Structures are given as structure tokens and as C-alpha cells.
Amino acid sequence: MNQDSSRFRAPSIPKSAMPLTLAALLISSLTTLFAWWVVWQLALALAGVTEEQTALALEKNLYWSEMLPRVSSLPWFAFLGLGVMVLIPLALFVPTIQAYGFAARAKQALTQEDLIEARVATANSSNAAWYAIGYAIFAVLLFGTVWFMIARDVAVGNTFFKLDLMLEKAGLVGNAFLTNVFIFMVAQVFILIWGLVVALARMVPGAAGQPIRLLATLYTDAFRGLPSVITIYLIGFGLPLTGFPILGDLPPVWYAIFALTLTYGAYVAEVYRAGIESIHPSQMMAARSLGLNFFQTMRFVIVPQAIRRIIPPLLNDFIGLQKDTALVNVIGTIDAFNQARILASNNFNLSTVTIVAILFVLITIPQARLVDRLLEQDAAKTRGAK
Amino acid sequence: MSFLEMRNVTKLYGAVPVLRGLNLSVEEHQVVCLIGPSGCGKSTLLRCINGLEPISGGEILILGDRVSGAGVDVNRLRRDVGIVFQSFNLFPHMTVLENICLAPRQVLGLSKAEAEARAAELLERVKLGAKHKAYPDQLSGGQQQRVAIARALAMQPMLMLLDEITSALDPELVAEVLDLVRDLAAEGMTMLLATHEMGFAKEVSSKVCFLFEGVVHEEGSPQQIFGAPTKERTQGFLKSIIEAGRL
């Protein structure tokens, strides 16, 4: 074989993987100790041991003899849960030990001058070590959160997550949440249509279209700038005062829908416009060259393509809208947040508001996944194999 | 009376003149090739004819009827004047069949069945009968361009404008598209095409126009233009083409 000396003059010898592996081992061990300490604190909290009692027991040097019986009196399912929590951090040692194994193999390969094997083993070792360190950080944050919940005699847990209160009031808050769902479902339909109308109005071609373009621009400028809470307030309290027939005596929910449609219609119009403008002008040219007029071109060629592109930003705006339904409490509509606030002040506890928070987060997750799926399916359809 | 007549047509982009008093006539069943260096106005000229670009001066007549300027129903005009672009411009969200059927259904008011029958016939003709359910991105460039031609033909135009339709194709795909144009020419379709395929222009055209600085600098039969050009610019252009091995 022709030995090209310049190529093989300086083969890269992998750095030893041992230090990183040892760091991973150290971090995993410390994490495990911390986690176990948190589990013990949790066991004490579950057994109803207060910080004061703990301090007293320590003073009398009777910590273990007083605490162990109290913890051992916990029911079996508590032990099961705590037991699982004890085992969780141990999972960190699986990649850590793997990292050690690879590091050892790399060392051995180096002594046998098997460079390639050494490189592969080193890479595997550092991968496994970083994996362990990454999950160790995750575990520290997780157990840190648990500790935060139970610290100061479960102050945080009781303020935000008082389970018995949450279970008792979940039905009431959940029911009120249907009002939010109704508002955003109806508003979303209106917004989809209204936003498109405004977007198209902003793009009407020709000199004769100028007043329409101007009107649409003024509208988007005004309602995008107005805070939605002010729009809701003005419309929800203002329109009934005007005494207009029909418009003056709608149920408050419909004022909220109207106000949110006006606000988010302006946002969504801009999203539509960005989407429409992102379609290459050659598409417009091709459609017009076939004799389709402006609106036919928009309807069949431009908007269908634009919508595929704007679905992710559209979802953004819709999630914003869904969250803004919580603002309707300013006009006295009993939505989930308003209901939860009433319950919170009656019970001097914020746990019912936590329910609302959880509900809002929960509804957005399936929407995000649905959008991901829709986009994947469409891509697979139009760009599938030849 | 010529089929298509362009009289003293000018076109400005802002202050930049692209066409400067251009005169051109096309008779029915003629195939007229526009050749010339990049930026000489070939594409602009084609786009002015079907109103995709408004002209700045002069007039364009089809069968004696003025089709430029204010008051012209461009949508009506475009039914009769088909155009095929260099970059195909198929609608990517529609299948091949939907691409072809859209305009006949929406503009001519054909029923779904009528439009699909017409499209199926055209797809057979461009040898893509099996691809009617495919999406444009699933086709090769040559196949996409043949669909684009079928899409234009579905409107049954009187005049076809072809704007460098093989320039975006890989060399081995050029022939399949040119074969199709050759068939159309043989059937008597009136065509005006901008092209860099000099061999093809020589073979298929009834008249060749050399565009230079926004006017028809020299025109004549393909034998005359390619064999014995009289103007110096034409000679220079053809010389550079021959040196590049394209003729």
C-alpha cells in the first residue's frame, strides 16, 4: 500500500474519556443523594411532621427515634410511591456505567494501537456520559420542584395545589371553562372568515380598490394596536348603553366574541396577508394567464397554498385568543378564571386558579400536535415518492 | 389582415425602456420564433400580448381587434391566448388533473365531467395519461412542462405563447417537450415562441425575429436568418451561439 506520509503523519489520538465519565459518576451520585434527601423530606411531610417538630427532635438528639416511627406509620401506597421515587435517580447509573465501560474499552484499544476502535469507544463513552449528566440536571430540577412544594410545611403545595379543594371545585371550574371554550370556538370561526375578508380587502388590485385598501389598513392598524382587554371592556359595557336594537341587548358572551373577533381578526388578517404574499407571484401570473380573474385566482390558487403555510402562525394567534378569553371577566361573564377567582377568595386559596391554568395548558397541547400532523400529512401527499 | 399585429409597441419599467417601438406581425398557423440576447425583451413582449404586462405605448391587435390599453377584457383575451412559462408554474397543491381542469371549469364553465374528459384527452396527447393523479412535485421537469402545455391547451386557445419553455430543463428532458411543440406546429397551431434552442427554431419556425434593444432588429425565414443574416448584430449574436456549440 502506498503510504501517503502527509496523510498519516498525525493521526488524531482520542482524548481519554475517563475524566468525563468520572464527572458523570460524581454528578449522578450527588443527584441521587439529593433526590433521596427530598424523598425523605416528602415522607416527613406526608406523615405530618412540621418543621418545628423536626427542629425540636434535633435539639433533643432524638431525630431518628422520633421520625422513623411516624414515617413507618404511612399507608402502603405512600410507601409504594416513595419507593418509586427512590429508584428513579438510580436510572442515571445505567448510562454512567455504560460510559465507564466504553471508556475502559477505549483505553484498552489505545494500548493495542487500535485507533479506530478507540475513537468509536471514546465517542460512545462521551455520548453516554453527557446523556447521564443531562438527565441528572433534569432530575435535580424535578426533585428541586418537589422540595419547593413541600418546603415550609408544604406552604407552596397547599397554596397552589390543595388537592381536596381542587377535586371539590373541579366540576364547577370545568363547567365555567365551557364558557371559554364556547367563546373561542365561535370567535375562531368568525376570525377565520373576517381575517380573510380584511386580508383580501388590503390586496384588492387597481386604483379603484384604493379606498377599500385604505379602510382595511386603518382597521388593522387600529385593532392591532388596541389592547384586547380595552376592546372587550368598551364593547361589553358600551354597546348595551347605546340602546341599539339587537346590538344593544345581547348576552355578554356575545360581546366578548364580537370584541375578540375584532381584535384577533386584525392579527389574523396580517397572518393571511403574509401567507398570501409568500406565494410566488408566478402563481398569480399563471392563474391569471389562464383567464381566471383576481378573486378566482385567490380562491383556487393563492389562498389554498397560503393557508397551508400560515397554519402554524394561525395556531399561535388562536392560542393567544384562547388565553384572552380569560379577559372576559372584566365585563362580568362567569368564565373559568372568574369562577376560580370567586372560589379562591371564598376559600383563601389559589388552588382553583391552578385548575384554570392547567386547563388552558391542556387544551393547547392537542392542537399543536394536530397541526404538526396535518402539515406532515399534506407534505407527504404533495411531495411523496415519484 | 394579420392574425396578430404589434404596432410601435413600447414598454417601460419605470424609466427603463424594454420595448422601444416594436413592430411584429404573426399570420394564422405561423410559428414565429423570437431569438436574441438576454434582456432584449423577448419575455416582456410575450407577456404584453396577453396583458400580463400593460404596454406603455403603441397597440396590439388580434384579428383586427385592439387588445391593449384601457377597457380590454383581459380575462376574455387570455382564454384565446395561452402562455407557457419557463418555470412551468403549475399549482403545487393540485393534482395534474386538477391543474388542467381548473380554468376550463371556472372560466369556460365546463362541467366536471366535460373538463375531465378534455383533460384526459390532452394528457394522453402529452403522453402523461397515467400521471393524472400525481402532484407536480412528484414529476420531472419535462413532465411538469408537458402538463403546463396541456393546461394551456385545455382552454383551446387560438394563439400559444411559449416563453423559453425548455430553459429550465435538464438536457435529456428538452427533447420530449420540443417534440410536443413540433406536433402542435404540424397541426397548425399559431405560436409565438421565445427560445434559445436555435436548432429547433431553425427547424420548426415559419419566421424568425431577432430582437435587439427592444425592437425587431431583423426578421426573415429561418434559412435567411440562420444562413445569411444581413445585419451586423444578428451576425454577431449567431456567431456567439455557434461558438458556444448551440447551433
pLDDT digits (tens, 9 = 90+) for A309-320: 999 899 999 999
Name chain B contacts of A308, Cβ cutoff 8 Å: 93
**HEC sequence for chain A:** CCCCHHHHCCCCCCCCCHHHHHHHHHHHHHHHHHHHHHHHHHHHHHCCCCHHHHHHHHHCCCHHHHHHHHHHCCCHHHHHHHHHHHHHHHHHHHHHHHHHHHHHHHHHHHHCCCHHHHHHHHHHHHHHHHHHHHHHHHHHHHHHHHHHHHHHHHHHHHHHCCHHHHHHHHHHHHHHHHHHHHHHHHHHHHHHHHHHHHHHHHHCCCHHHHHHHHHHHHHHHHHHHCCHHHHHHHHHHHHHHHCCCCCCCCCHHHHHHHHHHHHHHHHHHHHHHHHHHHCCHHHHHHHHHCCCCHHHHHHHHHHHHHHHHHHHHHHHHHHHHHHHHHHHHHHCCCCHHHHHHHHHHHHCCCHHHHHHHHHHHHHHHHHHHHHHHHHHHHHHHHCCCC
Chain B: nearest CA to A292, how far in angstroms?
6
Confidence at residue A8, expressed as pLDDT on a 0 to 100 scale: 57
Tell me the chain B residues in contact with residue A383 when contact means C-beta distances shorter than 8 Å. Answer: 135, 137-138
CB contact under 8 A, B78 and A282: no
Contacts of B107 in chain A (CB under 8 A): 290-292, 296
Using CB atoms, which residue from A283, A292, A383 is nearest to B137? A383
CB contacts of B155 in chain A (<8 Å) are 290-291
A149-182 pLDDT, tens per residue?
888 888 888 888 888 888 888 888 888 899 999 9
3-state secondary structure of B211: strand
Cβ neighbours for A44, distance < 8 A, ≥ 6 positions apart: A54, A67, A70, A71
3-class SS of residue B70: coil
Q: Is A309 on the interface with B (CB under 8 A)?
A: no
Instruction: Report pLDDT for A386.
Output: 41
A vs B: CB pairs below 8 A: 70
ipTM above 0.85, yes or no: yes
pLDDT of residue A171: 87
Give CA–CA dist A147/A106, Å, rounded.
40
Give B226 to chain A, closest Cα distance, Å: 32
Inter-chain touch A304–B93, beta carbons under 8 Å: yes
Is the Cβ–Cβ distance between B150 and B181 less than 8 Å? no
Considering CB atoms only, which of A291, A382, A385 is closest to B75? A291
Contacts of A302 in chain B (CB under 8 A): none
Q: Where are the domains of chain A?
A: 12-158, 166-379
Cα A362 to Cα A323, A350, B24, distances in angstroms = 12, 19, 68
Nearest 5°: CA angle at B58, between B55 and B60?
75
**Is there a contact between B90 and A286 if contact means CB atoms under 8 Å apart?**
yes
Residue A4 has pLDDT above 70, yes or no: no
Pick from B93, B107, B140: which is nearest to A290 by CB? B107
B148 Cα to chain A: minimum distance (Å): 10
Q: Quick one: pLDDT at residue A384?
A: 62
Give the pLDDT of residue A1. 44
Q: What is the pLDDT of residues A87-144, one digit of tens each?
A: 999 999 999 999 999 999 999 998 988 888 999 999 999 999 999 999 999 999 999 9
Q: Taking residues A333-337, report their average pLDDT.
A: 87
Contacts A297 to B, Cβ<8 Å: none
Q: Are A210 and A219 in contact (CB under 8 A)?
A: no
Q: Which pLDDT score is estimated for A6?
A: 52
Judged by average pLDDT, the poorest of A86-95, A188-197, A234-243 is A234-243
Chain B residues in contact with A290 (beta carbon < 8 A): 78, 82, 102-103, 107, 151-152, 155
Pick from A246-250, B178-182, B206-210: least confident: A246-250
CATH architecture of A166-379: Orthogonal Bundle (1.10)
Which of B79, B112, B138, B144 would best serve as a mutation to test chain A binding (most A beta carbons within 10 A)? B138
Q: Helical H runs in chain B?
A: 42-49, 74-80, 96-106, 112-125, 141-153, 171-186, 198-204, 222-227, 232-243
Cβ distance B91 to A305 less than 8 Å, yes or no, reads yes
User: Does B170 score more than 80 pLDDT?
Assistant: yes
d(C-alpha A263, C-alpha A79), whole Å: 53
What local confidence, expressed as pLDDT, does residue A269 receive?
A: 95
Check B92 against A289: CB less than 8 A apart.
no
Nearest CA in chain B to A384: B138
Enclosing H/E stretch for B19: strand B16-26
How does pLDDT run across A267-295, given as a tens digit for each residue?
999 999 999 999 999 999 999 999 999 99
pLDDT score at B92: 94
Q: Which fold has domain B4-196+220-243?
A: Rossmann fold (3.40.50)
pLDDT score of A173: 87
Q: What is the mean pLDDT of residues B171-192?
A: 91
| Nearest-neighbour CA in chain B from A381: distance (Å) | 8
pLDDT tens by residue, B23-59: 999 999 999 999 998 888 899 999 999 999 999 999 9
Residue at grid coordinates 416582456: B44
Residues in A touching B75 (Cβ below 8 Å): 291-293
